[in-house]
Amino acid sequence: MRDASPLPASVRIPALPTGPGVRAGTGKEQRPVSRLLFGKFTEHLGRNVYGGAWAQLIANPEFASPAAWPNRAELLRRLQTAGQDFHLPALPSALADDGAPWWVPEGDLKLGLEERRGRPVLRLLCPADAAARLITPLYLPVHRCISYRLQLLARADVPLTVELRDAARNTWASARLPPNSDWTACEVTLQGPAGPPPPAGTPFQLCLEPAAAGVVELRRCLLLPDDHLDGWDPDVVRFLQEAHLSLLRFPGGNFASAYHWRDGVGPVEDRPVRPNPAWPEAEWNHVGTDEWLRLCELVGCQALICVNAGDGSAEEAAEWVEYCNGAPSTPMGALRALHGHPRPYGVRLWEVGNELYGSWQVGATDAAGYAARYRRYAAAMLERDRDIHLIANGDNEAWNRTLVFTGGPHVRSLSHHCLYAGFPEDADPLRVYLEHMAFTPAYRQMWDELSAPLREAGQTPLLAITEQQVFTHRQQLPNNATLAEAIWDASILNEAIRADGLVELITHSALINHGAGLRKEREIVYAQPAWWVTHLYGSAPDPLYLLPVEVETPRFTARPYRLRTMPDAPYLDAVALTDQSGGTLVFFLVNRHPTSPLEVTFSMPGWAGTRAELDTLSGDSFMAGNTWHEPEAVQLVVEQRAWHAHESLVLPPCSLVRMRLW
Which of residues 393 and 210 earns the better pLDDT score?
393
Of the pLDDT bands very low, low, confident and very high (cuts 50, 70, 90), residue 95 is very low
pLDDT of residue 97: 47
Per-residue pLDDT at 98 exceeds 50: no
Q: DSSP labels for 554-583? A: -EE----SSS---TTEESEEEEEEEETTSS
Which amino acid is residue 88, in one-letter code?
Answer: L
What kind and span of H or E run contains 81? helix 72-85
CA dihedral (500, 501, 503, 504) in degrees, to 10, reads 150
Per-residue pLDDT at 204 exceeds 90: yes
Burial of 264 (0-12, 13-18, 19+ CB in 10 A): buried
CA dihedral (166, 170, 176, 181) in degrees, to 10, reads 80
Give the closest residue to 184 by CA, choosing from 148, 218, 222, 134: 218
Of the pLDDT bands very low, low, confident and very high (cuts 50, 70, 90), residue 526 is very high
Domain(s) of CATH 3.20.20.80: residues in the chain: 36-53+229-544
Average pLDDT of the residues in 329-335: 98
pLDDT of residue 25: 57
Per-residue pLDDT at 45 exceeds 90: yes
Cα–Cα distances (Å) from 294 to 388, 552, 567, in that order, read: 19, 46, 46
Name the phi and psi angles at 102, rounded to 5: -105, 140
pLDDT of residue 641: 96
Which of residues 622 and 134 earns the better pLDDT score?
622
Domain(s) of CATH 2.60.40.1180: residues in the chain: 7-29+547-661
d(CA 293, CA 48): 16
Average pLDDT of the residues in 293-301: 98
Per-residue pLDDT at 24 exceeds 70: no
d(CA 439, CA 565): 4
Per-residue pLDDT at 26 exceeds 80: no
Alpha-carbon torsion (260, 266, 272, 276), positive or negative: positive
Which of residues 80 and 297 earns the better pLDDT score?
297
What kind and span of H or E run contains 5? none
Q: Is 497 helix (H, G, I), strand (E, B) or coil?
A: helix
Instruction: Give the distance from CA 192 to its chain's centroid.
Output: 31
Under CATH, domain 66-225 is a member of which superfamily? Galactose-binding domain-like (2.60.120.260)
pLDDT of residue 124: 86
Q: DSSP labels for 110-177? A: EEEEEEETTEEEEEEEE-TT----EEEEEE--TTT--EEEEEEEEEESS-EEEEEE-TT--EEEEEEE
d(CA 600, CA 591): 10
Across the chain, what does the average pLDDT equal? 93
Give the closest residue to 376 by CA, choosing from 406, 346, 347: 406
Give me the helices (H) in 393-482, please.
397-406, 429-456
Domain(s) of CATH 2.60.120.260: residues in the chain: 66-225
List, in sequence order, every residue forming a beta bridge with 155; answer none if it has no partner.
Answer: 217
CATH class of this structure's domain 36-53+229-544: alpha beta
In tens, the pLDDT along 551-599 reads 999 999 999 999 999 999 999 999 999 998 899 999 999 999 999 999 9
Average pLDDT of the residues in 453-469: 97
Of the pLDDT bands very low, low, confident and very high (cuts 50, 70, 90), residue 423 is very high
Alpha-carbon torsion (365, 368, 374, 376), positive or negative: negative
Measured at the CA of 355, the angle between CA 376 and CA 418, to 5 degrees, comes to: 135
Per-residue pLDDT at 244 exceeds 60: yes
pLDDT of residue 74: 79
DSSP label at 309? Answer: -
What CATH number matches the domain at 7-29+547-661, 2.60.40.1180, 2.60.120.260, 3.40.50.1110, 1.20.120.80?
Answer: 2.60.40.1180
Sorted by sequence, the CB contacts under 8 Å of residue 359 that are 6+ apart come out as none
Name which of 74-88, 492-506, 535-549 the model is least confident about.
Answer: 74-88
Average pLDDT of the residues in 110-139: 81
Per-residue pLDDT at 496 exceeds 70: yes
Q: Count how many residues are written for the chain.
A: 662
pLDDT of residue 89: 59
Give the closest residue to 208 by CA, choosing from 224, 188, 228: 188
In tens, the pLDDT along 633-647 reads 999 999 999 998 888
Which of residues 97 and 42 earns the better pLDDT score?
42
Of the pLDDT bands very low, low, confident and very high (cuts 50, 70, 90), residue 178 is very high
Share of the chain above pLDDT 90, in %: 82
Sheet containing 598-603, strands listed edge to edge, beginning at the edge strand earlier in sequence = 550-552, 7-12, 598-603, 648-651
Of the pLDDT bands very low, low, confident and very high (cuts 50, 70, 90), residue 1 is low
In tens, the pLDDT along 253-266 reads 999 999 999 999 99
Q: What is the pTM of this model?
A: 0.95
Per-residue pLDDT at 93 exceeds 50: no
pLDDT of residue 626: 97
Average pLDDT of the residues in 519-526: 97
Burial of 437 (0-12, 13-18, 19+ CB in 10 A): buried
Per-residue pLDDT at 280 exceeds 60: yes
pLDDT of residue 130: 61
pLDDT of residue 27: 55
Name the phi and psi angles at 254, rounded to 5: -55, -35
d(CA 454, CA 447): 11
Which amino acid is residue 16, in one-letter code?
Answer: L
